[in-house]
Chains A and B, each alone.
Chain A
Amino acid sequence: MAIASWIRTFPLVQYLIAWAQEIFMSVLKTGPVPQHVAFVMDGNRRFARRRKLEVREGHSAGFESLAHILEMCYQVGIKVVTVYAFSIENFKRPTVEVDALMEIARTKLLQIIHHGDLADRFGISIRVLGQRSMIPADVLAAIDKSTEMTKDNTTAILNICFPYTSRDDIATSMREVVTLSEKHELEPETIDERMLEQHMYTKDCPPLDILVRTSGVERLSDFMLWQSHQDCTVEFVDCLWPEFEPWRFGSILLKWSHNKAIEFRKTEMERDQKEL
């Protein structure tokens, strides 16, 4: 809608929108708030194709959208945000695109740790999850630098899954546990779900509360399979990632908070009944 985006260029409107967003986040904070949210950032290439842009610019627009969403998440007090930046299967894409993605990753990682940018404002500790051996050296350097510089931040955590597939995660965790058994550092009888979880890439993170996938695809595509298969709200959103507006995410949060409040109400009533 051309008129809406024209009105949005007025400075006062921007300020009002930002203020309204903050108020909404404060309102949400007085109720249940998820602790761990995951995003599958799908639809950048389709976005670029629709607007007749280059694929690289689609990915850039995707990053802008990510920055907005991260801001919202940390404003509302979500502790851990996990984003699916790159899949191990994505290496099959044309080299030009893979190189462009690596370049974006490198520059943006170094950008968000600057003084005053995202990592500083919200006290984010950045972690990159995935198979390190598949990343080229310069991106690896940027990753190490950003992880190193933010490791003392304790307020929130940003997990960037790069490159990651859930099956690889589970298999790596299993392999580590088996290696520890081989060295007799743990007893095979003690192996249970918790132990496997403690060896996955998301080891210190609270259980996943919401998983959001954009672009209308209704699959999990090898992301967070272990974490999302029970007690997790999976939301499939029918718009492309660069068009994933803050109000959509706000409505998802409101819905989740409503459902959780109903659950708490039920447990309260059951507890009161038991006391009777």
Chain B
Amino acid sequence: MGAKRTKSHSSLITRVKDFLVVNLVPLGTSPAYKPTNLFQLAIFHIYHTVLIFLHILLSIYYLFSRQYYIAKNNFLAFLYHHHRTPQLIAQDIKGLAKTPQHVGIILKYKENEEGGGVEGLMEQVADVASWSVGSCVKTLTVYERSGKLNKMHEATYKVINRTLKSYYGETIPTVKLRTPHDKTVYPEGMTAEPVVVDLNISFISHDDGRGFLVELTREFAYKAAKGEFEPSKVTVDNVDRLANQLVITEPDLVVLFGPKLDLDGFPPWQVRLSEIYYAPHNDSVTYNVFLRGIRRFSKCKINIGR
């Protein structure tokens, strides 16, 4: 009788304990620290309160720092406005020790916002293309995770030319668009003769990152299974050569126009030595962020290993 009562009594306590532990321990707690008895649960909640307090302090700090960065970005946007004159852009890069030859940018597709959608992306590409031509950048790589612009060469070309006209007047610089994944080039006539254009633009997406390396491995594997391929030929140099040919070469500078450093699936192989620049809490594709990226690149010292 006594034993049965203590058994139901202890099972009630275990049930209460389990209930408390399951429901009061928040998601994401490190599993090593899940409390197993009531005393640990109490200590846990004391510590957790301190953590929540620290998180609140951090949020308050972010509130102020965000305002500071947004104000700074707006101020710099006002100070370094291009006013659609290439001479101003040339002026801005005049004193720099070196400028990047190949710049990569990471754009985010915004569905329902003002200035969003595919047209918004095209406008952003056109803007960046104009700034690139002005800063003597020869190659521009546009990365957008879902690849919305990969098949829209004709429309993008029109938008780019329209924007370039507003910068350069009647004699606009020549632009060539390509999507490595679909092997398409625009304008088509360009593949016939090796014409030197002022700016080469490549459109890449998430599939050109890890997906490309997986594809390459699969190709090699098929050939090797048939006995037509030596596995020892898979070297860093060979893969590098193929990556440069079939996707893009290494960018000197990658500019992120988002609020935080998120490579978002940009091809890992090519980003090995690229300078990565972003403006904290920035949300739009503005000239001053682009210029700051170029300035950062001009100040960096690249010594490969030495």
> Which single member of A77, A168, A230, A261 contacts B33 (CB below 8 Å)?
A77
Contact A167 B272 (CB under 8 A): yes
> Which single member of A87, A188, A234 contacts B225 (CB below 8 Å)?
A188
Is A274 engaged at the interface, CB distance under 8 Å to the other chain? no
Interface centre among B51, B240, B263, B306, by most chain A C-beta atoms within 10 angstroms, is B51
Is B47 engaged at the interface, CB distance under 8 Å to the other chain? yes
Is A166 engaged at the interface, CB distance under 8 Å to the other chain? yes
Question: Separation in Å of the B249 CB from the closest CB of chain A?
Answer: 14
Interface centre among B209, B214, B232, B264, by most chain A C-beta atoms within 10 angstroms, is B214
Chain A positions 219 through 235: 1 when the CB is less than 8 Å from some CB of chain B, otherwise 0: 11110011011101111
The answer to whether A31 and B26 touch (CB under 8 A), given A182-B225, A192-B214, is yes
Q: Which of B257-297 touch A at CB < 8 Å?
A: 261-269, 271-277, 296
Contact A31 B269 (CB under 8 A): no
By a CB distance below 8 angstroms, the chain B residues around A167 are 236, 239-240, 269, 272
Contact A30 B32 (CB under 8 A): no
By a CB distance below 8 angstroms, the chain A residues around B3 are none
Closest to B272 in A: A222
Chain A positions 17 through 50: 1 when the CB is less than 8 Å from some CB of chain B, otherwise 0: 0000000001111111100000000000000000
Q: Which of A195-237 touch B at CB < 8 Å?
A: 196, 217-222, 225-226, 228-230, 232-236
Chain B positions 189 through 204: 1 when the CB is less than 8 Å from some CB of chain A, otherwise 0: 0000000000000000
Is B169 engaged at the interface, CB distance under 8 Å to the other chain? no
> Which single member of A90, A182, A261 contacts B305 (CB below 8 Å)?
A90
By a CB distance below 8 angstroms, the chain B residues around A175 are 231-232, 234-235
By a CB distance below 8 angstroms, the chain A residues around B216 are 174
The answer to whether A230 and B29 touch (CB under 8 A), given A220-B272, A258-B58, A258-B59, is no
Which residues of B pack against A, CB within 8 Å? Answer: 26-30, 32-33, 44, 47-48, 50-51, 54-55, 58-59, 209-211, 213-214, 216-218, 220-222, 224-225, 227, 229, 231-232, 234-236, 239-240, 261-269, 271-277, 296, 300, 304-306
Which residues of A pack against B, CB within 8 Å? Answer: 26-33, 76-77, 87-93, 165-168, 170-171, 174-175, 177-179, 181-182, 184, 186, 188-189, 191-193, 196, 217-222, 225-226, 228-230, 232-236, 254-255, 257-258, 260-261, 264, 267-268
**Can you identify 23 A-B contacts, CB atoms within 8 angstroms?**
A28-B51, A89-B304, A89-B305, A167-B236, A170-B268, A171-B235, A171-B239, A174-B220, A174-B239, A175-B231, A179-B224, A181-B220, A182-B224, A182-B231, A186-B221, A188-B225, A225-B271, A257-B51, A257-B55, A260-B28, A261-B55, A264-B27, A268-B27
| Pairs A-B, 5 closest by C-beta atoms | A89-B305, A181-B221, A188-B221, A182-B224, A32-B28
